[in-house]
């Protein structure tokens, strides 16, 4: 199994960052390698969404069930896709002092096929790291 962790402090509120990350249908506009995004079910506490990611011969669709705890956390778990295991979390933590928030991203994943995991793990890791950067850049574009 592989793990990706990213954390950064931004000048935007937890509410702003939560709204940006939870706006899945707009991912193809700014998330690198996101070719399509479809929200299947959406409520105040849950979203089921499918993403299609493509980079360097890697093209995969996967669906996650996202539990929403506004504006603090989005928990993701795999519903369907090329993974044996995929669980992740976005957390938006407001500091005791100062403005903005801490954006934390954690993802555990393992492809179903061991050979696919071996060959595609680095590509998928890069896609996810680039995705986190894209959200920070998008926040600057939208909120400033």
Q: Kindly list the domain boundaries of the chain, sorted by start residue.
A: 2-143
For residue 102, pLDDT over 90 is answered with yes
Q: Please measure the distance between the N-terminal and C-terminal CA atoms of the chain and give it in whole angstroms.
A: 38
How many residues are given for the chain? Answer: 144
Going by pLDDT thresholds of 50, 70 and 90, the confidence category of residue 25 is very high
pLDDT of residue 108: 96
What is the average pLDDT value for the chain, to the nearest integer? 95
At 20 the pLDDT is 98
**Could you name the CATH architecture of 2-143?**
2-Layer Sandwich (3.30)
Q: How far apart are CA 139 and CA 136, in angstroms?
A: 5
Helix, coil or strand: residue 32: coil
């Amino acid at each position: 199994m592989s793990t990706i962790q990213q954390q950064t402090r931004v000048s935007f509120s937890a509410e702003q960052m939560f709204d940006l990350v939870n706006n899945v249908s707009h991912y193809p506009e700014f998330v690198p390698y996101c070719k399509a995004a479809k929200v299947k079910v959406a409520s105040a506490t849950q979203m089921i969404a499918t993403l299609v990611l493509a980079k360097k011969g890697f093209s995969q669709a996967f669906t996650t069930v996202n539990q929403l705890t506004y504006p603090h956390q989005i928990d993701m778990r795999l519903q369907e896709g090329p993974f044996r295991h995929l669980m992740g979390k976005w957390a938006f933590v407001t500091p005791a002092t100062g403005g903005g928030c801490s954006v934390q991203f954690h993802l555990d994943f393992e492809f179903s096929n061991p050979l696919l995991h071996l060959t595609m793990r680095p590509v998928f890791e890069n896609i996810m790291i680039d995705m986190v950067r894209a959200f920070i850049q998008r926040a600057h574009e939208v909120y400033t």
